[in-house]
Amino acid sequence: MFNTVPSGSGFNVLSIAAPIAAKRQEEFRNRLANMGTQQGAGNTQARNNALATYGGPTRAAAASYGGNDVAAGIIDTASALGVDPIDLATAISYETAGTFDPTKAGPTTQWGQHRGLIQFGEPQAEQYGVDWDNPVGSQLGADGAVARYLRENGVTPGMGLLDIYSTINAGAPGLYNRSDANNGGAPGTVRDKVESQMAGHRRNAERLLGSSSDQSFDALAYLGL
């Protein structure tokens, strides 16, 4: 487990990180409640135009923009882990090519067909309890597959996007120089992807969770650019 605090220092990172994370979760909950499901006609038309131009499942788009079950589930998952929901949503946006589609199909590797919000391989989906008949409920929430996977593989309260994505992509926090390009992933290391490929996905995350004043659909962000 990645830990930058020297042992025996007397410093308890959880005593500081957990209250900060809890406060941020409550702020995001309030923003989400205030946002509700309102989407302007112009925004809806922009989304539909982008989908018509660039393709993409309308169900996934609905889940991404105005799908409060997905947004609330990400917030509950982040709250259980003690991490920033924007960081978690950014990683999920990246893993689902900007759609937040809970059944998003990815590459086929030695782990079979990868699917879902963090691209579970087939044995991992079974191990962590993904139910493809209930993909949102089984993946998100305090005891969902995403929280279970991240918690059991080393994510602790206060960790940021780099460690969250390292755990998703490489299996544990701190593996910043690992790459899954040989298994069908995008070129680049964990650090490369977080620092160079996720800006549009962070904007997606902010819109999904209602933390940005600009709720308009961004086709470039949808495409991960």
Backbone angles phi, psi at 188, to 5 degrees: 115, 155
Q: What is the pLDDT of residues 178-214, one digit of tens each?
A: 887 777 677 789 999 999 999 999 998 998 887 533 3
DSSP run (H or E) holding 67 = none
Q: How many residues does the chain have?
A: 225
- Class of residue 25 by CB neighbours under 10 A (exposed 0-12, middle 13-18, buried 19+): buried
More confident call, 66 vs 25: 25
Q: What is the pLDDT of residues 74-122, one digit of tens each?
A: 999 999 999 999 999 999 999 999 989 999 999 888 899 999 999 999 9
List 115's β-bridge partners, or say none: 105, 120
- Compute the distance between CA of residue 178 and CA of residue 167 in angstroms, rounded to an integer: 11
Say whether 175 sits in a helix, a strand or coil. coil
- Compute the distance between CA of residue 156 and CA of residue 2 in angstroms, rounded to an integer: 9
Q: Give the angle 98-185-69 at the CA atoms, nearest 5°.
A: 30
Work out the percent of the chain whose per-residue pLDDT is above 70.
62
pLDDT at position 19: 55
- Compute the distance between CA of residue 123 and CA of residue 114 in angstroms, rounded to an integer: 10
Q: What is the pLDDT of residues 175-188, one digit of tens each?
A: 999 887 777 677 78
